[in-house]
Amino acid sequence: MAIVLIRQDGKLDLWKNAFLGQYPDLPVFHYEEPHSTEEVTMAIVWKHPEGSLTHYPNLQCIASFGAGVDFIFEDNTRPKNVTITRVIDPALAADMSEYVLGVILMYLKNLDTYRQDQANKSWRPKAYTRIADHTIGIMGAGTLGITLANSLLPLGFKVVGWSREAKEVENFKIYHGQGGKTNFLRQSTILVCLLPLTDATKEILDKETLSQLPKGAYLINVARGGHLAENQLIPLIDSGHLSGACLDVFQQEPLEEGHPFWDHPKIKITPHVASVSDPASVVHQLVENYYRLEKKVPLVNTVDPSRGY
């Protein structure tokens, strides 16, 4: 039995060393070095090259290096009937909450605009809003969404959530399904997308959905670029229906040089960094599943293929 690591972002050695640092005897290889493909039972992947999983005839688990698994389901060449797992990690959730809180406070107090004004040596005081003025709508009240809600509520924000199935939590209301979507959207002065990308959520942030937000609402997309119907965003901002957006994820990453989002004064862009899996924090859960395979016991953090997340 062995583990293969597949990713194309220059971080293979960093991850391999993180595994070996904590588990020196672990049979872990990266996909570009010589290894017995027959031995491999677990592939840990992040945006792997399509077709790369077909080299492993004895694969029992495909594990995402991150929380999302959309790129695994998109690879139609992947071996089917192999368990898929994802990362569920308190540090990943805390990092996401910190990022979103930072964006919200920047928006409330116009801090990004003053940064631009300073570059132009322009003194232009603007009206600001307060925490009490806003209801944060968390689209995707799952692991990351609930952690975010629990970090915003003590600060005085009103929070509403939206999920696929009905669920109740003590401190805020979670709407669900198509039936609850409109009520959820109507209240959300700041909408944070934390959905998984699936057939049901593809381009869910389109004109129809975003038009149901209150006038002047702000959009934060930290989930996947595929959630946003990109060509429908700028008209909603330019018409004044939305006051702006902060986007961490894009249909195509890196964002193409000529994309209109780069130059729009009311769109803030970050390069898919809202929350990044930290090897020190997630190696343990990935290796735990490798040992579970060895012992033939059920894996943790599995994904339901029928839901796609």
* The one among 4, 44, 136, 194 contacting ligand NDP by CB under 6 A: 194
Q: Which is nearer to ligand NDP, 115 or 167 (CB)?
A: 167
Residue 46 binds ligand NDP (CB under 6 A): no
Q: Nearest distance from residue 246's CB to ligand NDP, in Å?
A: 11
DSSP assignment of the chain, as one string?
Answer: -EEEEEESSS-HHHHHHHHHHH-TT--EEETTS---GGGEEEEEEESPPTTGGGG-TT--EEEESSS--HHHHH-TTSPSS-EEE----HHHHHHHHHHHHHHHHHHHTTHHHHHHHHHTT---------GGG-EEEEES-SHHHHHHHHHHGGGT-EEEEEESS----SSSEEEEHHHHHHHHHHH-SEEEE-----TTTTT-BSHHHHTTSPTTEEEEE-S-GGGB-GGGHHHHHHTTSEEEEEES--SSSSPPTT-GGGG-TTEEE--S-SS---HHHHHHHHHHHHHHHHHT-PPSSB--TTTT-
Q: Nearest distance from residue 292's CB to ligand NDP, in Å?
A: 20
Residue 217 binds ligand NDP (CB under 6 A): no
Q: Which is nearer to ligand NDP, 165 or 168 (CB)?
A: 165
* Whether residue 224 lies in the annotated active site: yes
Scanning 27-35, 102-110, 193-201, 290-298 for contacts with ligand NDP by CB under 6 A, the matching segment is: 193-201
Q: Which is nearer to ligand OXD, 131 or 276 (CB)?
A: 276
Please identify which of the residues 130, 224, 227, 241 carries the catalytic annotation: 224
* Whether residue 176 lies in the annotated active site: no
Residue 142 binds ligand OXD (CB under 6 A): no
Residues between 61 and 90 with contacts to ligand OXD, criterion CB under 6 A: 66-68
Please identify which of the residues 55, 272, 284, 292 carries the catalytic annotation: 272
Residue 192 binds ligand NDP (CB under 6 A): no
Q: Which is nearer to ligand NDP, 28 or 96 (CB)?
A: 96
Which residues contact ligand OXD (rule: CB under 6 A)? 66-68, 276-277
